[in-house]
């Protein structure tokens, strides 16, 4: 009889211990779940309240790099909480862009804090004209409209003293046959009128430009004269602020 009572007491004690452990486990799991929900809720609130602003200059010509065939967008977190940089999506002209590289400037981490600027770089091949970029980061969204413009030299071929293979990239000209002058003309895609143009010669011992500044006409064109002084090479550059172009001139006797 005593033995049976002892056995029952041991079983009762074991049951109480198991129940206590189970209750403790439930309490721990509940606490972890509550903390997880709280953290997730805080992130959701930050996402809902966050705002971003695309801060590229739409006319500066720096958004699209035609040489590298890529687009660079700068998005500033203007308030409401931190965002994950890797969560930012980029659309160009309504198309989702893959392989976007993101970089939080001056921080070097993936947390896009309030006040920080996120740099997004993505491959793109754009035609001249108006384009639209949209950045979306967990519901925080902004849009940028920018213009891709092109300014370029036209070929000076056909002028006195120019070689038969003269192109808009490089041209050989005879100092004696040209009379010491070569007219260089530039043009723009989609006719960009009233644009200021600066001209420069890299080797003024060989040749100089005059005038050094001009303004495009209604057709988006302008010209300058290259005065040849001696044999050699010089690179003549045109700069309209939003684009540049170069032509290599070789001066021979």
The predicted pLDDT at position 61 comes to: 77
Give the pLDDT of residue 70.
Answer: 95
Q: Does residue 34 form part of some domain? A: no
pLDDT, average across residues 59-65: 83
In this structure, what CATH number is given to the domain that contains residue 184?
2.60.40.10
Whole-number Å distance between alpha carbons of 145 and 147? 7
pLDDT in the model for residue 67? 86
Nearest to 185 by CA among 142, 218, 149, 214: 214
Which pLDDT band, with edges at 50, 70 and 90, does 17 fall under?
low
Instruction: Average the pLDDT over each of 62-71, 91-100, 159-168, 201-210 and give the range with the smallest value.
Output: 62-71
Over residues 177-183, the mean pLDDT reads 97
Query: Could you report the per-residue pLDDT of 195-243, keeping only the tens digit for each?
Result: 999 999 999 999 999 999 999 999 999 999 999 999 999 999 999 999 9
Mean pLDDT of all residues belonging to the chain: 85
Co-location of 106 and 170 in the same domain: no
φ, ψ of residue 183 to 5 degrees: the values are -85, 125
C-alpha torsion angle, residues 9, 13, 18, 24 (rounded to 10) = 160
Which residues form the domain of 208? 151-252
Strands 70-79, 83-84: pairing is unpaired
What's the rounded Cα separation, in Å, for the pair 197 and 204? 19
21 falls within a domain = no
Single residue among 148, 172, 202 that ends a domain in this structure: 148
For residue 112, name the pLDDT band (cuts at 50, 70, 90). Answer: very high
The pLDDT value given to residue 24 = 52
d(CA 244, CA 223): 14
CA dist., res. 4 & res. 7, Å (int): 5
Number of domains in the chain: 2
Domain shared by 99 and 164, yes or no: no
What gap in Å lies between CA 116 and CA 82, rounded to an integer? 9
Buried b (16+ CB within 10 A) or exposed e, 87-117: ebebebeeeebeebebebeeeeeeebeeebb
Clarify whether residues 196 and 142 are in a common domain. Answer: no
Asked if 146 and 56 count as a contact pair (C-beta separation under 8 A), the reply is: yes
CB 74 within 8 A of CB 117: yes
In-domain check, residue 35: no
- Of residues 93 and 4, which shows the higher confidence score? 93
CATH number where 142 lies: 2.60.40
Please tell me whether residues 160 and 227 are part of one structural domain. yes
**Is the same domain home to 116 and 131?**
yes
107 and 191 inside one domain? no
Contact 52, 75 (CB under 8 A): yes
Residue 59 pLDDT greater than 80, yes or no:
no
Q: What percent of the chain has pLDDT over 70?
A: 80
pLDDT for position 8? 53
Whether 215 is covered by a domain: the verdict is: yes
Residue where a domain stops, chosen among 131, 148, 165:
148
């Amino acid at each position: 009889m005593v033995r049976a009572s002892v056995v029952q007491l041991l079983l009762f004690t074991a049951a109480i211990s198991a129940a206590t452990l189970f209750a403790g486990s439930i309490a721990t799991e509940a606490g972890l779940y509550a903390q997880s929900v709280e953290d997730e809720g805080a992130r959701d609130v930050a996402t809902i309240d966050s705002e971003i602003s695309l801060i590229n200059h739409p006319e500066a010509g720096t958004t699209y790099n035609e040489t590298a065939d890529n687009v660079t967008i700068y998005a500033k977190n203007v308030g409401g909480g931190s965002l994950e940089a890797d969560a930012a999506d980029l659309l160009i002209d309504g198309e989702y862009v893959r392989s976007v590289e993101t970089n939080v400037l001056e921080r070097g981490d993936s947390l896009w804090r309030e006040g920080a600027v996120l740099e997004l770089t993505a491959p793109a091949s754009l035609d001249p004209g108006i384009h639209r970029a949209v950045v979306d980061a967990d519901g925080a969204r902004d849009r940028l409209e920018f213009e891709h413009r092109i300014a370029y030299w036209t070929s000076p071929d056909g002028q006195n003293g120019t070689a038969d293979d003269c192109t808009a990239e490089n041209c050989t000209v005879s100092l004696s046959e040209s009379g010491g002058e070569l007219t260089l003309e530039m043009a723009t895609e989609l006719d960009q009128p009233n644009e200021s143009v600066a001209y420069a010669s890299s080797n003024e011992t060989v040749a100089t430009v005059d005038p050094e500044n001009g303004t495009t006409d209604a057709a988006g064109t302008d010209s300058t004269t290259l005065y040849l002084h001696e044999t050699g090479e010089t690179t003549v550059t045109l700069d309209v602020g939003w684009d540049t172009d170069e032509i290599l001139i070789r001066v021979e006797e």
